């Protein structure tokens, strides 16, 4: 703790790999999207999957897959050479349609955790590199949309991570200084965005990154977001 500790009054969460388990959601999405886009041509689906770091046969993402921290626009850009017959907008729309339908597995029981934060007057936000529409669909399916003061995707007008635009917009929306907020995420993109915004950074291990990758950019590395209340209490924040 610093000599002059500033209590945390806001938490801005990444979505995939933070609120929700990354593999459970996006491995299912990749299988459905690739087979749909390849129109049932399994060999083509496997080849296209490799272009975005997904092994369709094994059903696993590579550690450096663009999908892990990239935006849907960036993923679409990487896919376009394989779908010359399609418009960029049509491919992006297909990607987002499948994303909105992807199954979500909460990293922890979300509603009681988030309600606990709200009871302590902690403002809550979501800053994701997913598109806003599927992001809201995922939060809605989990029954937690109403608990957030701010929800932004990469296409919400604030840019995407690792730039700090979404996070600064959250701070402005809830009337807090960045130093009063912690960015919570599972990737270095999340942590770089938090640092760039002047926020504290909390890393969690429910994505694909490991402690050694996250620790240099985080104030703390936790197993999952369920450990945040104890960490805040230990910091004297609540």
Residue 211 inside a domain? The answer is: yes
Task: Assess whether 92 and 44 both reside in one domain.
Answer: yes
Q: Which tokens belong to 222?
A: 């936790």
Task: Assess whether 88 and 118 both reside in one domain.
Answer: no
Task: Assess whether 172 and 113 both reside in one domain.
Answer: yes
d(CA 215, CA 221): 6
* Tally of domains within the chain: 2
User: What pLDDT was estimated at residue 3?
Assistant: 55
Task: Assess whether 27 and 68 both reside in one domain.
Answer: yes
Residue 1 inside a domain? The answer is: no
Task: Assess whether 78 and 112 both reside in one domain.
Answer: no
Residue 180 inside a domain? The answer is: yes
Q: Which of 101, 132, 155 is the last residue of a domain?
A: 101
Q: Which of 101, 130, 164 is the last residue of a domain?
A: 101
Q: At what angle do helices 72-79 and 88-101 cross, to 10 degrees?
A: 130
Helices (H), 2-131: 22-37, 42-51, 66-69, 72-79, 88-101, 110-119
206 Cβ contact partners less than 8 Å away, ≥ 6 residues apart: 17, 18, 21, 22, 107, 186, 223, 224, 225
User: What pLDDT was estimated at residue 103?
Assistant: 85
Task: Assess whether 85 and 199 both reside in one domain.
Answer: no
Strand extents, DSSP E, 155-199? 181-185
Task: Assess whether 141 and 217 both reside in one domain.
Answer: yes
DSSP string, 200-223: EEEEESSSS--HHHHGGG-SEEES
User: What pLDDT was estimated at residue 183?
Assistant: 98
Sole residue written with tokens 């960029």:
88
Residue 41 inside a domain? The answer is: yes
Range of the domain at 27: 23-101
φ, ψ of residue 161 in degrees (nearest 5): -80, 145
User: What pLDDT was estimated at residue 238?
Assistant: 45
Q: Which of 45, 77, 101 is the last residue of a domain?
A: 101
Looking at the DSSP assignment, which residues form a beta bridge with residue 203?
185, 221
Residue 3 inside a domain? The answer is: no
Task: Assess whether 179 and 216 both reside in one domain.
Answer: yes
Residue 81 inside a domain? The answer is: yes
Compute the 3-state secondary structure of the chain and give helix, strand, coil in percent, each to the nearest 5. Answer: 50, 15, 35
d(CA 15, CA 176): 21
Task: Assess whether 33 and 117 both reside in one domain.
Answer: no
Task: Assess whether 189 and 224 both reside in one domain.
Answer: yes
Residue 201 inside a domain? The answer is: yes
Task: Assess whether 126 and 89 both reside in one domain.
Answer: no
Per-block mean pLDDT, blocks of 10 residues, the chain (238 long): 76 97 89 94 96 96 89 94 94 93 92 98 97 94 97 97 98 98 97 98 95 97 98 77
Task: Assess whether 180 and 216 both reside in one domain.
Answer: yes
User: What pLDDT was estimated at residue 102?
Assistant: 85
Residue 127 inside a domain? The answer is: yes
């Amino acid at each position: 703790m610093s000599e002059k500790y500033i209590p945390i009054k806001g938490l801005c969460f990444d979505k995939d790999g933070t609120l929700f388990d990354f593999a459970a959601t996006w491995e299912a999405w990749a299988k459905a999207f690739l087979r749909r886009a390849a129109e049932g041509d399994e060999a083509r689906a496997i080849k296209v999957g490799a272009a975005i770091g997904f092994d369709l046969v094994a059903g696993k993402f590579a550690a450096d897959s663009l999908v892990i921290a990239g935006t849907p626009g960036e993923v679409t850009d990487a896919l376009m050479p394989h779908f010359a017959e399609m418009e960029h907008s049509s491919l992006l729309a297909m990607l987002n349609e499948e994303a909105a339908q992807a199954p979500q597995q909460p990293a922890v029981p979300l509603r009681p955790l988030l309600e606990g934060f709200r009871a302590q007057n902690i403002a809550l936000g979501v800053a994701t590199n997913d598109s806003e529409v599927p992001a809201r669909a995922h939060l809605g399916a989990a029954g937690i949309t109403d608990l957030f003061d701010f929800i932004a995707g990469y296409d919400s007008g604030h840019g995407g991570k690792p730039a700090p635009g979404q996070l600064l917009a959250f701070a402005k929306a809830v009337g807090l200084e960045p130093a009063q907020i912690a960015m919570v995420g599972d990737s270095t993109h999340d942590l770089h965005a938090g640092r760039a915004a002047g926020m504290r950074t909390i890393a969690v291990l429910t994505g694909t990154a490991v402690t050694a990758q996250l620790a240099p950019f985080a104030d703390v590395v936790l197993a999952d977001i369920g450990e945040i209340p104890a960490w805040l209490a230990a910091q004297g924040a609540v």
